[in-house]
Structure 1
Amino acid sequence: MKKIILLFSLLAVLLVTAGCLNEMVGQKITVQKRTGKENIFEEFKEVNQSKRVEKAIDLVKNANWEDKKVEMTRYADYQFQFPFKNSSENKIASYSLWVIQNGENVEIVTDSDKYVKLTKQDSANLYEILTGEELIK
Protein backbone atom coordinates (compact mmCIF):
# COMPACT_ATOMS: atom_id res chain seq x y z
CA MET A 1 0.00 0.00 0.00
CA LYS A 2 2.86 2.39 0.81
CA LYS A 3 4.36 1.75 -2.62
CA ILE A 4 1.10 2.69 -4.33
CA ILE A 5 0.81 5.91 -2.31
CA LEU A 6 4.43 6.76 -3.09
CA LEU A 7 3.90 6.02 -6.78
CA PHE A 8 0.80 8.26 -6.97
CA SER A 9 2.58 11.01 -5.04
CA LEU A 10 5.50 10.95 -7.46
CA LEU A 11 3.13 10.92 -10.41
CA ALA A 12 1.25 13.94 -9.03
CA VAL A 13 4.50 15.86 -8.51
CA LEU A 14 5.64 15.06 -12.04
CA LEU A 15 2.32 16.21 -13.53
CA VAL A 16 2.38 19.49 -11.61
CA THR A 17 6.01 20.10 -12.59
CA ALA A 18 5.31 19.33 -16.25
CA GLY A 19 2.37 21.74 -16.20
CA CYS A 20 4.49 24.53 -14.73
CA LEU A 21 7.27 23.96 -17.24
CA ASN A 22 4.80 23.92 -20.11
CA GLU A 23 3.41 27.29 -18.96
CA MET A 24 6.89 28.83 -19.07
CA VAL A 25 7.80 27.60 -22.54
CA GLY A 26 7.82 30.43 -25.05
CA GLN A 27 8.26 33.16 -22.46
CA LYS A 28 11.09 35.19 -23.90
CA ILE A 29 11.98 38.70 -24.95
CA THR A 30 13.70 39.29 -28.26
CA VAL A 31 15.79 42.45 -28.51
CA GLN A 32 17.08 44.15 -31.66
CA LYS A 33 19.67 46.93 -31.67
CA ARG A 34 19.86 49.74 -34.22
CA THR A 35 22.95 49.60 -36.40
CA GLY A 36 24.44 52.83 -37.67
CA LYS A 37 22.37 55.95 -38.15
CA GLU A 38 19.64 54.37 -40.28
CA ASN A 39 16.45 52.68 -39.11
CA ILE A 40 17.99 49.22 -39.50
CA PHE A 41 17.97 46.78 -36.60
CA GLU A 42 19.86 43.55 -36.06
CA GLU A 43 19.20 40.72 -33.65
CA PHE A 44 20.96 41.60 -30.41
CA LYS A 45 19.81 39.43 -27.54
CA GLU A 46 17.19 36.98 -26.39
CA VAL A 47 16.12 36.99 -22.75
CA ASN A 48 14.55 33.70 -21.69
CA GLN A 49 15.11 33.52 -17.93
CA SER A 50 11.56 33.45 -16.61
CA LYS A 51 12.14 35.79 -13.62
CA ARG A 52 13.83 38.41 -15.80
CA VAL A 53 11.11 38.12 -18.46
CA GLU A 54 8.39 38.49 -15.83
CA LYS A 55 10.12 41.51 -14.28
CA ALA A 56 10.47 43.21 -17.67
CA ILE A 57 6.84 42.53 -18.51
CA ASP A 58 5.76 43.92 -15.13
CA LEU A 59 7.88 47.06 -15.61
CA VAL A 60 6.36 47.71 -19.02
CA LYS A 61 2.82 46.73 -18.06
CA ASN A 62 2.75 48.84 -14.88
CA ALA A 63 4.28 51.97 -16.43
CA ASN A 64 2.23 55.17 -16.60
CA TRP A 65 1.38 54.96 -20.30
CA GLU A 66 -0.03 57.97 -22.13
CA ASP A 67 -2.35 57.61 -25.10
CA LYS A 68 -0.62 59.93 -27.52
CA LYS A 69 1.28 59.78 -30.76
CA VAL A 70 4.81 61.11 -30.41
CA GLU A 71 7.34 62.02 -33.06
CA MET A 72 10.88 61.27 -31.93
CA THR A 73 13.82 63.27 -33.29
CA ARG A 74 15.86 60.15 -34.06
CA TYR A 75 15.36 56.45 -34.68
CA ALA A 76 14.91 54.11 -31.71
CA ASP A 77 18.00 52.64 -30.08
CA TYR A 78 16.35 49.25 -29.51
CA GLN A 79 13.24 47.33 -30.37
CA PHE A 80 11.93 44.51 -28.24
CA GLN A 81 9.06 42.07 -28.32
CA PHE A 82 7.55 39.64 -25.88
CA PRO A 83 4.52 37.40 -25.80
CA PHE A 84 1.45 39.07 -24.36
CA LYS A 85 -1.15 36.64 -23.09
CA ASN A 86 -4.71 37.71 -22.60
CA SER A 87 -7.62 35.47 -21.85
CA SER A 88 -8.55 34.65 -25.44
CA GLU A 89 -5.37 34.68 -27.51
CA ASN A 90 -1.62 35.02 -27.56
CA LYS A 91 -0.13 38.12 -29.17
CA ILE A 92 3.31 39.61 -29.58
CA ALA A 93 3.74 43.03 -27.96
CA SER A 94 6.29 45.22 -29.80
CA TYR A 95 8.04 48.27 -28.40
CA SER A 96 10.59 50.84 -29.57
CA LEU A 97 13.01 52.12 -26.92
CA TRP A 98 15.09 55.30 -26.80
CA VAL A 99 17.80 56.09 -24.28
CA ILE A 100 17.34 59.80 -23.70
CA GLN A 101 20.31 62.10 -23.95
CA ASN A 102 21.06 62.35 -20.22
CA GLY A 103 21.45 58.56 -20.19
CA GLU A 104 19.35 58.16 -17.05
CA ASN A 105 15.95 57.30 -18.50
CA VAL A 106 14.40 55.41 -21.36
CA GLU A 107 11.32 56.26 -23.38
CA ILE A 108 9.14 53.62 -24.97
CA VAL A 109 6.64 53.91 -27.80
CA THR A 110 4.22 51.29 -29.11
CA ASP A 111 2.67 50.86 -32.55
CA SER A 112 -0.70 51.66 -30.98
CA ASP A 113 0.27 55.27 -30.15
CA LYS A 114 1.18 54.79 -26.51
CA TYR A 115 4.15 56.54 -24.91
CA VAL A 116 5.96 56.36 -21.57
CA LYS A 117 9.09 57.80 -20.02
CA LEU A 118 10.17 55.39 -17.29
CA THR A 119 11.53 56.48 -13.93
CA LYS A 120 15.30 56.33 -13.44
CA GLN A 121 15.06 53.09 -11.45
CA ASP A 122 12.63 51.38 -13.83
CA SER A 123 14.72 52.57 -16.78
CA ALA A 124 17.89 51.11 -15.28
CA ASN A 125 16.19 47.81 -14.45
CA LEU A 126 14.57 47.36 -17.87
CA TYR A 127 17.71 48.40 -19.75
CA GLU A 128 19.82 45.92 -17.78
CA ILE A 129 17.35 43.11 -18.49
CA LEU A 130 17.19 43.91 -22.21
CA THR A 131 20.89 44.59 -22.86
CA GLY A 132 22.82 43.05 -19.98
CA GLU A 133 24.53 46.42 -19.43
CA GLU A 134 24.10 49.28 -16.97
CA LEU A 135 22.16 52.27 -18.26
CA ILE A 136 24.36 54.94 -16.72
CA LYS A 137 28.04 54.51 -17.54
Structure 2
Amino acid sequence: MKKILLFFSLLGVLLVTSSCLNEMVGQKITVQKRNGEENIFEDFNEVNQKKQVKKAIDIVKNANWENEKVEMARYADYQFQFPFKNSSENKIASYSLWVSPNGKNLEIVMDSHKYVKLTKQDSANLYEILTGEELIK
Protein backbone atom coordinates (compact mmCIF):
# COMPACT_ATOMS: atom_id res chain seq x y z
CA MET A 1 0.00 0.00 0.00
CA LYS A 2 2.83 2.39 0.86
CA LYS A 3 4.51 1.63 -2.49
CA ILE A 4 1.32 2.48 -4.39
CA LEU A 5 0.89 5.73 -2.46
CA LEU A 6 4.54 6.64 -3.09
CA PHE A 7 4.18 5.81 -6.79
CA PHE A 8 1.12 8.05 -7.24
CA SER A 9 2.73 10.85 -5.24
CA LEU A 10 5.81 10.78 -7.47
CA LEU A 11 3.63 10.58 -10.56
CA GLY A 12 1.70 13.66 -9.43
CA VAL A 13 4.90 15.62 -8.80
CA LEU A 14 6.23 14.66 -12.23
CA LEU A 15 3.02 15.74 -13.96
CA VAL A 16 2.99 19.12 -12.22
CA THR A 17 6.68 19.67 -12.97
CA SER A 18 6.36 18.73 -16.61
CA SER A 19 3.38 21.04 -17.13
CA CYS A 20 5.35 23.95 -15.64
CA LEU A 21 8.28 23.19 -17.91
CA ASN A 22 6.02 23.00 -20.96
CA GLU A 23 4.98 26.62 -20.41
CA MET A 24 8.57 27.73 -20.98
CA VAL A 25 9.37 25.30 -23.82
CA GLY A 26 9.67 27.29 -27.02
CA GLN A 27 10.02 30.59 -25.17
CA LYS A 28 12.61 32.66 -26.93
CA ILE A 29 13.27 36.23 -27.85
CA THR A 30 14.24 37.07 -31.40
CA VAL A 31 16.18 40.29 -31.93
CA GLN A 32 16.73 42.21 -35.15
CA LYS A 33 19.18 45.09 -35.55
CA ARG A 34 18.75 48.02 -37.92
CA ASN A 35 21.17 47.93 -40.82
CA GLY A 36 22.40 51.39 -41.85
CA GLU A 37 20.18 54.45 -41.81
CA GLU A 38 17.17 52.84 -43.49
CA ASN A 39 14.29 51.02 -41.81
CA ILE A 40 15.78 47.62 -42.70
CA PHE A 41 16.44 45.07 -39.98
CA GLU A 42 18.59 41.95 -39.97
CA ASP A 43 18.40 38.99 -37.62
CA PHE A 44 20.86 39.74 -34.84
CA ASN A 45 20.34 37.49 -31.84
CA GLU A 46 18.11 34.82 -30.37
CA VAL A 47 17.77 34.48 -26.60
CA ASN A 48 16.85 30.95 -25.51
CA GLN A 49 17.99 30.74 -21.88
CA LYS A 50 14.90 30.47 -19.69
CA LYS A 51 16.19 32.78 -16.96
CA GLN A 52 17.13 35.50 -19.43
CA VAL A 53 13.84 35.20 -21.31
CA LYS A 54 11.87 35.41 -18.07
CA LYS A 55 13.90 38.39 -16.84
CA ALA A 56 13.42 40.26 -20.12
CA ILE A 57 9.68 39.53 -20.14
CA ASP A 58 9.42 40.72 -16.52
CA ILE A 59 11.27 43.97 -17.31
CA VAL A 60 8.99 44.71 -20.27
CA LYS A 61 5.81 43.58 -18.53
CA ASN A 62 6.47 45.56 -15.32
CA ALA A 63 7.55 48.78 -17.06
CA ASN A 64 5.47 51.92 -16.56
CA TRP A 65 3.87 51.98 -20.00
CA GLU A 66 2.17 55.15 -21.19
CA ASN A 67 -0.83 54.94 -23.49
CA GLU A 68 0.19 57.54 -26.00
CA LYS A 69 1.02 57.55 -29.66
CA VAL A 70 4.62 58.58 -30.24
CA GLU A 71 6.66 59.38 -33.31
CA MET A 72 10.36 59.01 -32.86
CA ALA A 73 12.89 61.21 -34.69
CA ARG A 74 14.68 58.21 -36.21
CA TYR A 75 14.11 54.57 -36.99
CA ALA A 76 14.40 52.07 -34.15
CA ASP A 77 17.82 50.65 -33.35
CA TYR A 78 16.41 47.18 -32.65
CA GLN A 79 13.21 45.21 -32.86
CA PHE A 80 12.45 42.23 -30.67
CA GLN A 81 9.65 39.74 -30.34
CA PHE A 82 8.67 37.01 -27.95
CA PRO A 83 5.68 34.71 -27.68
CA PHE A 84 3.39 35.05 -24.70
CA LYS A 85 0.31 33.27 -23.48
CA ASN A 86 -2.82 35.31 -23.05
CA SER A 87 -5.47 33.05 -21.53
CA SER A 88 -5.73 30.21 -24.05
CA GLU A 89 -4.16 32.06 -26.99
CA ASN A 90 -0.54 32.15 -28.05
CA LYS A 91 0.48 35.54 -29.41
CA ILE A 92 3.69 37.25 -30.39
CA ALA A 93 4.52 40.58 -28.80
CA SER A 94 6.58 42.91 -31.00
CA TYR A 95 8.56 45.89 -29.76
CA SER A 96 10.66 48.62 -31.35
CA LEU A 97 13.64 49.73 -29.26
CA TRP A 98 15.75 52.89 -29.28
CA VAL A 99 18.92 53.59 -27.35
CA SER A 100 18.59 57.13 -26.00
CA PRO A 101 21.11 59.71 -27.27
CA ASN A 102 22.97 59.66 -23.94
CA GLY A 103 23.34 55.87 -24.26
CA LYS A 104 22.00 55.16 -20.77
CA ASN A 105 18.32 54.40 -21.31
CA LEU A 106 16.19 52.34 -23.63
CA GLU A 107 12.94 53.60 -25.07
CA ILE A 108 10.42 51.06 -26.30
CA VAL A 109 7.32 51.46 -28.43
CA MET A 110 4.73 48.72 -28.77
CA ASP A 111 2.09 48.87 -31.52
CA SER A 112 2.67 52.64 -31.88
CA HIS A 113 0.24 53.26 -29.01
CA LYS A 114 2.33 52.38 -25.96
CA TYR A 115 5.61 53.95 -24.95
CA VAL A 116 8.06 53.51 -22.10
CA LYS A 117 11.46 54.89 -21.17
CA LEU A 118 13.10 52.29 -18.97
CA THR A 119 15.13 53.08 -15.89
CA LYS A 120 18.91 52.98 -16.27
CA GLN A 121 19.12 49.64 -14.44
CA ASP A 122 16.31 47.99 -16.43
CA SER A 123 17.78 49.43 -19.63
CA ALA A 124 21.20 47.98 -18.87
CA ASN A 125 19.77 44.58 -17.95
CA LEU A 126 17.46 44.33 -20.97
CA TYR A 127 20.12 45.54 -23.41
CA GLU A 128 22.60 42.96 -22.15
CA ILE A 129 20.00 40.19 -22.48
CA LEU A 130 19.00 41.21 -26.00
CA THR A 131 22.45 42.00 -27.42
CA GLY A 132 24.97 40.29 -25.16
CA GLU A 133 26.76 43.64 -24.77
CA GLU A 134 26.86 46.36 -22.13
CA LEU A 135 24.67 49.41 -22.72
CA ILE A 136 26.99 52.19 -21.54
CA LYS A 137 29.13 53.30 -24.45
TM-score, normalising length: structure 2? 0.89
The offset of 1:58, in angstroms, is 1.1
Match of 1:102 in 2: 102
Aligned to 2:35: 35
Say whether the 8 Å CA contact 2:70–2:112 is kept in structure 1: no
Q: Secondary structure at the match of 1:92?
A: strand
Look up the SS of the partner of 1:133 in the other structure: coil
Q: Mapping of 1:1-137 within 5 angstroms? A: 3-137=3-137
The letter for the 2-side match of 1:48 is N
In the superposition, the TM-score normalised over structure 1's length comes to 0.89
- Tell me the CA shift for residue 4 of structure 1: 4.1
User: Alpha-carbon deviation of 1:2?
Assistant: 5.4
Distance in structure 2 (CA, Å) of the matches to 1:112 and 1:37: 20
Inter-partner Cα distance in structure 1 for 2:43 and 2:136: 23
Report the Cα distance in structure 2 between the residues aligned to 1:61 and 1:92, rounded to whole angstroms.
14
Listed one character per residue, the Cα deviations across residues 28-61 of structure 1 (whole Å, up to 9, x for unaligned) are: 1111111111111111111121111111111111
Runs (5+) with no aligned partner, structure 1: none
RMSD: 1.6
1:112–1:100 Cα change, 3 Å: closer
Distance in 2, Cα, partners of 1:45 & 1:130: 7
Distance 2:113 2:83 in 1: 19
CA distance in 2, matches of 1:61, 1:124: 16
Deviation of 1:93 (Å): 0.7
How many angstroms apart in 1 are the aligned matches of 2:35 and 2:21?
A: 36
Quote how far apart the aligned CAs of 1:10 are. 4.1
